[in-house]
Structure 1
């Protein structure tokens, strides 16, 4: 690490400052606001379950690949934890799917939309091409925004739709920060920066992942128009 190389904490602070405009657009996203008002049809919620099935199953493979790439290092443990978290989330997604009226076994037949699928496609790209720092910085920046919106979705489903705990467990899971996640991510980033990882590339990874996160929510909001017209 050169004297000009930031620490992990400094790099993450820089990234969060640069991503503040996207963070603002994600916070209180129109889709979440429409859901809180009780105006999202069941068909759109089914669509949400289908999109998330594709995302979660793909991300789990991506994290498992990263764990294999990094062998027995601390980074491998970090990515393995992420893969295991996706497995837990996938189980919870079944509860949400059942609540919407879907058979969870049918989720694999869902045809994903490009705008919603771009996020997980980029995660797969990172799994093949990104450094440990790229991935850890991107997810340290991204998961806070995703978690906040999941908390809003959980509250909306309970309040406006009368959903029970099993139905919203998927969203509750992501809304609750995993113990030690931030500290572990910072350790992985620091180690990779010391090994020569590029801070600029890590910033790019975070910027792109957050943009694809916004694209997911924007796609879900646009789907409301088509689902409403079909009713």
Structure 2
């Protein structure tokens, strides 16, 4: 069984918790944007630093794909923030919500490209599903600039095709299981932090 597929199966219970943690509301959307204004620029800088770890052609392509995605996302996020009247404010940053980006910085400094490949490919589809659900709620409630959330909906087949051989190249099951579990725990904390109150519950629930 492939590395990414194996880890994803092991994470199924945690990934269900992440899906259930999203409770859409106006307050949740505003908190989502306020914290993403901190997260996305720091993710972009962490990924740029991670490029220094790349050595093989597929590793450069993998990291460059991530950087390009976050660069485009930053502009879309600014458009959403402008529509909602959200500006970056330090007092709006929830430490629990932004722990994810701090872990990504740790990976960039102390991890291998294999660690990054594992972290991103187990995380992004799960993050993307919640973003798509939040975008659906936002559109129903009159928000126009939902591109930031929609662009993470996937598919991630091409990224995963790049990631799998990289993960196999640096294979370390104990380390990979820690990295995968950690990044998904931080993902869960993000959604719990921004959702706060009861909201409406997951769409379709």
Instruction: Tell me the TM-score normalised to structure 1 length.
Output: 0.79
Deviations 1:175-197 (A, max 9, x none): 1325611101112212333xxxx
Contact 2:128–2:154 (Cα < 8 Å) also in 1: yes
Deviations 1:125-176 (A, max 9, x none): 01111111111111111111101001101111111x1222xx1000110013
* CA distance, structure 1, for counterparts of residue 176 and residue 139 of structure 2: 37
Contact 1:135–1:202 (Cα < 8 Å) also in 2: no
Q: 1:191 aligns with which of 154, 169, 189?
A: 169
2:103 equivalent in structure 1: 122
* CA distance, structure 2, for counterparts of residue 10 and residue 45 of structure 1: 36
Tell me which protein shows more helix as a share of its residues: 1
* CA distance, structure 2, for counterparts of residue 27 and residue 18 of structure 1: 16
The answer to which of 212-221 and 61-70 deviates more is 61-70
The unaligned stretches of length 5 or more in structure 1 are: 1-8, 226-231
Q: 2:143 aligns with which of 153, 158, 163?
A: 163
The alpha-carbon deviation at position 30 of structure 1 amounts to 4.1
Q: 1:61 aligns with which of 41, 45, 49?
A: 45
Once the two structures are superposed, the pairs formed by residues 11-160 of structure 1 within 5 Å of their partners are 11-31=3-23, 35=24, 40-41=25-26, 43-71=27-55, 73-102=57-86, 106-107=87-88, 109=90, 111-159=92-140
* CA distance, structure 1, for counterparts of residue 56 and residue 162 of structure 2: 15
Deviations 1:107-133 (A, max 9, x none): 265641110011111110011111111
* CA distance, structure 1, for counterparts of residue 29 and residue 139 of structure 2: 14
Deviations 1:178-228 (A, max 9, x none): 5611101112212333xxxx2210111010000000000011122x48xxx
Contact 1:55–1:117 (Cα < 8 Å) also in 2: yes
Q: 1:176 aligns with which of 154, 158, 166?
A: 154
Larger radius of gyration: 1
Higher relative contact order (CA 8 A, sep 6+): 2
1:205 equivalent in structure 2: 179
Q: Secondary structure at the match of 1:174?
A: coil
Q: Secondary structure at the match of 1:177?
A: coil
The unaligned stretches of length 5 or more in structure 2 are: 199-205
Indicate the RMSD between aligned Cα atoms, in angstroms.
1.9
* CA distance, structure 2, for counterparts of residue 48 and residue 76 of structure 1: 30
Q: Quick one: structure 1 residues 178 and 108, their matched pair in 2 at CA, closer, same or farther if it must change by over 3 Å?
A: farther
